[in-house]
Each structure stands twice: as structure tokens, then as C-alpha cells.
Amino acid sequence: MERRTIGAGALAVGAVGLGCMPMHWAYTGSRQRGDASLRTVHAALDQGSSLLDTADMYGPFTNELLIGRVLRERRKEAFVSTKCGLLVGEQHIVANGRPGYVKRACDASLRRLQTDTIDLYQLHRADPEVPVEETWGAMAELVTAGKVRALGLCAVGARAGRRAGARTGLHDATIRQLERVQQVFPVTAVQAELSVWSPEALESLLPWCAARGVGLLAAMPLGNGFLTGTLTPGQGFEPDDLRARHPRFTAEMMAANQPLVVGLRRVAERHGATPAQVALAWVLAQGPQVVPIPGAKRERWARENAGAAGVRLTPEDLADIAALPPAQGSWD
């Protein structure tokens, strides 16, 4: 698989990574048997998808424990990205950016991952009660201590509190936060949602990253599975699946957004590919520092996603995708 570099430190990773969250969090059947998840992670590494993206809150903790079992055998083949800053309670998820907590969380993640060093340590969310510079300073100390190689910031929650229907300025607050932490210690990567049906990161966040040599880890590049073309309007989701409460996954909105899947499938037919692979190839085409991290629970999906690295979209393909109607339905 093609390799890409992220950050000023030129950290090399496979062009398509693996989002490990669905194995233990947020989707129906996410608490699947460990052996199935292990096979999925091994399949991804076999294909060159070296970036394994996890977090201490997934499970919580079980996702990191799973990745640790893989790293015990294949540490040199993997690039490990995990996150801190969110605590899962019985009723709510709360942010914790206190320096002492961040350092304890890192040590706990290292134990679960069975490794001496985390390749990329990301702040999952900033704590509104703690200046982000203090949190980032504690994370920088982890780099100095040799426990972490590089730091990143996760901006997937940027939609929280955003005015309903607003389409511009989504990442303005994130960029302001990035400017602040850059004064403390370099940002290697930003994780943010980017897909054919959610392209807002192209407005300002990706240009900001490109101008500063910062990598962008594209989260949810398959639109929570919608862009794969395997979901049908009205199919319904179990209560523990985040899509059961997602405005774009009502039967009405799924039907309204079918033209996106039809357009991706049309392009896919030209390449002997799948709609999912074209959706990922579109993300890859947005810049050499962009690395999509599609989630996968099954081996077949990990292998299919990795295959997107070999799909080269033509100017005609990109123009056809650009001409597709914008996705319908609010995210707020």
C-alpha cells in the first residue's frame, strides 16, 4: 500500500488506516467476539493499513486491550493512535483535561496497549474547565518523557453547539484552538470528519493543515456506513446504534440521499471498485497529508477499505462526484 507522511516529523503510515471504534462502541453488534475483531485488525495490517485508531473511552478500555493483543505480536507493523480526555459515566460522557489525569491516562493506555510508546496521542475533547494550553503542556511532557511520539487533536465533535442548518465556519473554533496549542507544542495531526456527504473540513481546516504540514485523519469517511451502498432506507437500527438517533438516518433522509450512493456506484463501475472504495479514494484525493480511517468490524470490510488505496480517480470522476447534490438532513 502507498505510504503517506503526517506532521512535521514525517511519520509514515499506510494511506488508508483502520478505525477500531466500531468493534466496541456506538454501533449495533459492536461488542462482538474478540476473535472476530482480532482477525479484522490482523487483516488490516496484512493489507498495509498500519494506522490503528482507538481511544481509552471505546468500551471503555476494551478497544485498547484488543489492540494490545495485536501489538504484542506485530508492534513494528503498526502505527498506534489513541486518545484521552473523555470519561464515560453511567449517564454522561464528560471531558477531563487536568494535567494529572492526562498523564495517568497515558500510563494506563500504555499498559493496555502493551507498548512502551504511543505513536500519536490525541486530545479527544478539550475540557471547558481547563485551559487547553495546560492540557497540551501535559501531553507535551509525555513526548519529552518518551512515552508518546507525537500529538494530535480530535475535532470530530466540532458540530456540538453549532447553529442548526449552518454550513460554514464549522471548524473556526477548532482552528482557534489549534492556533493556541501550536504555541505550546507542535500539532502533528488533526482528526476530523471528512467524506463525500460531509465535506466541510475542506473549507478551512484542511487548508490550515496543509499550510502547516499537519496531517488530517479523516474520520467517518464512509458517512457512518451510508456511502457503502449497503444500507437501505427504512431498515431501522437497534437502540444502541448511534444511527438510530442520527437525523440523516431516518427513512426519509436515507431515501433523499440515495443519489449520492448512485453517483458513487456509477464511478465505481468504471474502476471495477465498490462505492465504499470510491468514497475513500475521494478522501485520499483531497491531499497527500490526508489519511482516511474508516471503521470496520469484519475482515472483508477491512480488506475492501484497504483496496481503496489502489483506486485512482480521474479528473472526470472527481468532477462527477463534485456535481452530486449535497447531503440532505441536519447533523445538529
| 287-320 confidence digits (pLDDT tens) | 999 999 999 999 999 999 999 999 999 999 999 9
Does some domain include residue 75?
yes
Q: Per-residue pLDDT for 247 more than 70?
A: yes
Grid coordinates standing for 16?
Answer: 488508508
Phi and psi angles of residue 218, each rounded to the nearest 5 degrees, phi first: -85, 105
Domain of 79 in residue numbering reads as 3-224+286-310
Q: Per-residue pLDDT for 25 more than 50?
A: yes
pLDDT of res. 245:
85
For 58, residues 6+ apart whose C-beta sits below 8 A from its C-beta are: 20, 21, 23, 24, 25, 64
Q: Per-residue pLDDT for 210 more than 80?
A: yes
**Interatomic CA distance for residues 182 and 275, integer angstroms:** 37
Please, are residues 284 and 308 in contact by the beta-carbon 8 Å criterion?
yes
Beta bridge partners of 118: 148
- How many degrees, rounded to 5, is the angle at CA 227 between CA 203 and CA 25? 90
- How many degrees, rounded to 5, is the angle at CA 35 between CA 30 and CA 40? 70
H or E element in which residue 12 lies: strand 11-14
**Rg value, the chain, Cα:** 19
Q: Per-residue pLDDT for 283 more than 70?
A: yes
pLDDT of res. 34:
74
- Of 25-39, 175-189, 228-242, the one with minimum mean pLDDT is 25-39
pLDDT of res. 69:
97
Helical residues (DSSP H) of the chain, grouped into ranges: 34-46, 62-74, 99-113, 132-144, 172-182, 205-212, 251-256, 258-271, 275-284, 299-307, 315-322
Cα torsion 288, 10, 73, 192 to 10°: value is -50
Does some domain include residue 64?
yes
Q: Judging by DSSP bridges, how do beta strands 86-88 and 11-14 pair with one another?
A: unpaired
pLDDT of res. 158:
56
Grid coordinates standing for 291?
Answer: 489519511
**Interatomic CA distance for residues 286 and 309, integer angstroms:** 13
* Residue in 274, 310, 264 with CA at minimum distance from that of residue 14: 310
pLDDT confidence band for 92 (50 / 70 / 90): confident
Mean pLDDT of 271-291: 98
Mean pLDDT of 67-86: 97
* Residue in 134, 106, 126 with CA at minimum distance from that of residue 118: 106
Mean pLDDT of 67-95: 94
Does some domain include residue 56?
yes
pLDDT of res. 331:
63
Say how many domains are in the chain. Answer: 1
**Interatomic CA distance for residues 181 and 201, integer angstroms:** 19
Q: Per-residue pLDDT for 86 more than 90?
A: yes
SS (H, E, C) 196-227: CCECHHHCCHHHHHHHHCCEEEEECCCCCCHH
Does some domain include residue 48?
yes
Q: Report pLDDT digits (tens) over 146-199.
A: 999 999 999 865 554 344 345 557 899 999 999 999 999 999 999 999 999 999
Question: Residue type for 71, please?
Answer: L
Is 121 tagged catalytic? no
- Of 44-53, 237-246, 260-269, the one with minimum mean pLDDT is 237-246
Mean pLDDT across the chain, nearest whole number? 92
Please, are residues 79 and 11 in contact by the beta-carbon 8 Å criterion?
yes
Please, are residues 238 and 28 in contact by the beta-carbon 8 Å criterion?
yes
**Interatomic CA distance for residues 15 and 310, integer angstroms:** 10
Does some domain include residue 230?
no
For 258, residues 6+ apart whose C-beta sits below 8 A from its C-beta are: 233
Q: Report pLDDT digits (tens) over 254-270.
A: 999 999 999 999 999 99
**Interatomic CA distance for residues 53 and 122, integer angstroms:** 10
pLDDT of res. 235:
86
pLDDT confidence band for 19 (50 / 70 / 90): very high
Catalytic residue among 27, 58, 101, 121: 58
Does some domain include residue 295?
yes
26 versus 88: the higher-pLDDT residue is 88
Beta bridge partners of 5: 12
Does some domain include residue 157?
yes
Q: Per-residue pLDDT for 231 more than 90?
A: yes
pLDDT of res. 162:
43
User: The CATH number of the domain where 300 resides is what?
Assistant: 3.20.20.100
Q: Per-residue pLDDT for 222 more than 90?
A: yes
Cα torsion 241, 242, 243, 244 to 10°: value is 70
